[in-house]
Amino acid sequence: MAADLAVASLAPILAHWARQLERFDLGAIMSYWAASMLCSGACFLLFGIERSIWRYFSWRELVPLATAVVTAVSSASFLAFSLDRMQAVSRSEPLLHGAILLSCLIVIRIVARHVERSKRSRSARSRSSNNPVRQALVIGTSPLAEVYLRMVDEMASFTRRPVDVVGIVAEKPRHVGRLLRGRPITGTLADIGNLTAKLSVHGVRVDLVVLAVQDKYLLSAASGFLRELEAEGAEIIALQTLFGGQPGFESAPEDPLRTSTPPPELGTWRGKRLVDIVLSAMLLILFSPLFLFVCACVLADIGSPVIFWQIRPGFRGVATRFYKIRTMKHVQYGVVRPDQERISHLGRFLRRTRLDETPQLFNIMIGQMSFVGPRPLLPRDLHEDGSDRIQMRPGVTGWAQVNGGKLINPKDKMALDLWYAYHASFRLDLVILWRTVLTILHGDRVQHDAIEQARSFLELRQRDLSPIGFSGYSGNPVNA
């Protein structure tokens, strides 16, 4: 945290110096600098970037880093503009400030990672001088192979017998000669026997074979050769077994469900995904000060953590982590209290105004959700009659939410969602967004005509009388 704050204190100064050069005046930007420090510290704590272990820094941490930086710079600009109109700060300085801050945060993590890895490399060399090295042959270029090679590098200083990957065997000839995590791919499955013969000339005796190849690529000739190596004392590890695959290296029949193309996405229209990306990015930037204020109020009223997450089936049934702002206090173990007693007055306000769902803008931006679509359900609430429902991206609001919401039963909600799946259009989405605003202002109201229309549509589909391939919206939505 101290290193991150040090970088945060230098970034606005460097941005001002790079922009002004000869007219550099540190005293003129002190209000912007103070706002930047305050917002940066709050965002670093809010997004938890100080909790990451730097020696394990990876590309996955770039998203929370970038989100924290964008939120911090946007909030600092808003706060400084409210104080003194940012008269001494040029318009391009916040952009330059954000770029410098993000770059420096990444660089110090990369440096720390490489320093730690160099320490472990020296330790690994000292251990390998006293312990025999296992010579391994990796078969396959799947993501499992990349994971294993990463494990070999990271665990070199911890294992008693270090592993030396002497060769990588590819499934396809076009991969021969390329590199996988810095190691050359030396052959294919078709000539695995010749490959081990060449290695033996160099004094290599393969005593470990790591299978990271899909079963459909494993030829019968290669399977026989691997059995010979196993009979000679080599250990064979199938990485698939670690993730629920079948053990061994027998060629398995191809799964038709796995190889078939996924069904088309429902509840969409041309350009909807682009609109979701642009609009969610704009709202994340514009509402970042409001988001920080709401989080501070929740922290004071309800406590930590501010963000609540829950795993629910998402698009095409994929288990997805959805985020919301917490509105209820922690469960007291041993005391059973209903949800209505745990929710605070602030929580009720956030739910009423839908402000508790602002973190889902992040889900929308990365493609897990859309602005308009069915609300994600818990697994126990899914029903086989609504199998088409999971072929839509979940939404912040939807046709069911603006036609009754909490006042209608789950069966009617399902019918409304399925009606929307086959009638989605740009115009209908605008109607739903406008009705969402009215629902926030006036509360839920049951639209019986829309429910009857959805019920009739669902009955026709169940009798196979409606056009399954129909997409796009025609006609006027009920009570639009």
User: Around 192, how many Cα atoms within 13 Å sit in the side-chain half-sphere?
Assistant: 26
Q: What are the pLDDT digits (tens) for 238-253? A: 887 766 555 444 444 4
Rg (CA), the chain: 29
pTM of the entire predicted model: 0.53
Helix ranges, 178-302 (H): 192-201, 220-231, 256-259, 272-286, 288-301
For residue 195, what pLDDT is reported?
Answer: 83
Q: What are the pLDDT digits (tens) for 387-397? A: 778 889 999 99
Q: Alpha carbon of 74 to those of 35, 87, 151, 226, 464: distances in Å?
A: 10, 16, 39, 58, 53
Q: What are the pLDDT digits (tens) for 199-214? A: 777 777 888 888 888 6
The least confident of 3-17, 48-62, 109-123 is 109-123
pLDDT above 50 (res 11):
yes
Cβ proximity of 410 and 381 under 8 Å: yes
Mean pLDDT to the nearest integer, 467-479: 43
Sequence-distant (6+) residues with CB within 8 A of 440 are: 352, 353, 354
pLDDT above 50 (res 478):
no
For residue 74, what pLDDT is reported?
Answer: 92
How far apart are the C-alpha atoms of 220 and 236, rounded to whole Å?
Answer: 16
Q: What are the pLDDT digits (tens) for 99-151? A: 999 999 999 988 888 887 677 655 555 554 455 678 888 888 888 888 888 88
For residue 468, what pLDDT is reported?
Answer: 42
Band (pLDDT 50/70/90 cuts) for residue 311 is confident
How far apart are the C-alpha atoms of 211 and 209, rounded to whole Å?
Answer: 6
How far apart are the C-alpha atoms of 416 and 1, rounded to whole Å?
Answer: 49
Mean pLDDT to the nearest integer, 341-358: 85
Most trustworthy range by pLDDT among 94-98, 126-130, 407-411? 94-98
pLDDT above 70 (res 467):
no
Q: All domains of the chain, ordered by start, with CATH?
A: 2-122 (no CATH), 132-252 (3.40.50.720), 272-462 (no CATH)
For residue 272, what pLDDT is reported?
Answer: 93
Choose between 52 and 30: higher pLDDT: 30
Q: Alpha carbon of 40 to those of 70, 79, 404: distances in Å?
A: 10, 12, 41
